[in-house]
Structure 1
């Protein structure tokens, strides 16, 4: 049985334009180091561009925004001790040691954000399959709806445990804020499109429950590397 994930790290990265490929290669090469960390349960390296956004009224890609490559590390742990061990480990040291050379300045370049995992699903992939794409969703609860959003994500995640798609899903909260997020990962574009067209996803994008300040930001992402235990 998979050890339940309770906490995690949400780490967005933006490379300096000449260093985009270098950052991508670094993230892929970090996989063996992460797999050697006994307390890191799951680790994902993700890439996306601002042109792969999904508007509330459409699941098509938007070309109105400038093309900028972004990266994201999302990882999970059973307890804060594992999270701290990872932050003090080789991958974090290498990333921060090369921050000035590889990443743009300030929080735009790298921001290490602790999260509380509200519900998650890490299913077994079919033979010969791997995680290749996903959805990154960020949302802000109305001031009086923080607990409602927490419960909503728990309910959605619990329902997904009995469904085949998506194979990997996380609903999480940025503690002491009204900010929440979802990471859903898939083995094919068809799986992703099926999820986007589903009733739950459509209702969330249109904020039909009225629990968000505005429609959630939904971004299509590609998976560069992944480790699940």
Structure 2
């Protein structure tokens, strides 16, 4: 479903634990995000909510500060990911945002980091979402220059 939406730049179905799942998707602009939220993927989630989910899906909007988009022709499956969230010290939000933007150049040189997103959530919270083909790729990133 998500692949059929032209405005969806990247879409990932993720598993957090035994029975907790999520979707991470990004868009070029607010219009693309709004079209997605009004589209069939969101409607399917809301329709299935009561029958298969323990609670209503939580949809959180955020801004992408920097990215390494997945190569469409790589064909390499993505099976491992990391999600890191953190809060900036009060008054240091712009420095954290710039640090994340600067990290993009380092991540671009990591061949096993298939996709990487630096995000600004809300109220001084930031995060990084990145994906890898396997545990080796994830380990290489964790022992690389960004961490």
TM-score by length of 2: 0.90
- Number of residue equivalences: 147
Larger Rg: 1
Extract unaligned runs of 5+ from structure 2. none
Work out which of the residue numbers 110, 114, 119 in structure 1 matches 2:66. Answer: 119
Aligned to 2:48: 98
Aligned to 2:115: 168
CA distance in 2, matches of 1:125, 1:88: 25
Aligned to 1:136: 83
Work out which of the residue numbers 124, 139, 146 in structure 1 matches 2:93. Answer: 146
1:104 deviation in Å?
Answer: 2.4
Aligned to 2:34: 84
The 1:134/1:144 distance shift into structure 2, 3 A limit, reads same
The 1:199/1:159 distance shift into structure 2, 3 A limit, reads closer
1:189 is aligned to 2:135 = yes
> Contact 2:90/2:124 (CA < 8 Å) preserved in 1?
yes
Aligned to 2:13: 45
| 1:49-78 deviation digits (Å, cap 9, x = unpaired) | 2xxxxxxxxxxxxxxxxxx53212111111
SS at structure 1 position matched to 2:22: strand
> Contact 2:112/2:133 (CA < 8 Å) preserved in 1?
no
Aligned to 1:206: none
1:116 deviation in Å?
Answer: 0.5
> Contact 1:119/1:158 (CA < 8 Å) preserved in 2?
no
CA distance in 2, matches of 1:127, 1:158: 20
1:128 deviation in Å?
Answer: 4.8
CA distance in 1, matches of 2:43, 2:96: 35
1:141 deviation in Å?
Answer: 1.0
SS at structure 1 position matched to 2:96: helix
- Displaced runs of 4+ in structure 1, greater than 6 A? none
1:40 deviation in Å?
Answer: 1.0
> Which range is displaced more, 81-90 or 158-167?
158-167
> Contact 1:137/1:183 (CA < 8 Å) preserved in 2?
yes
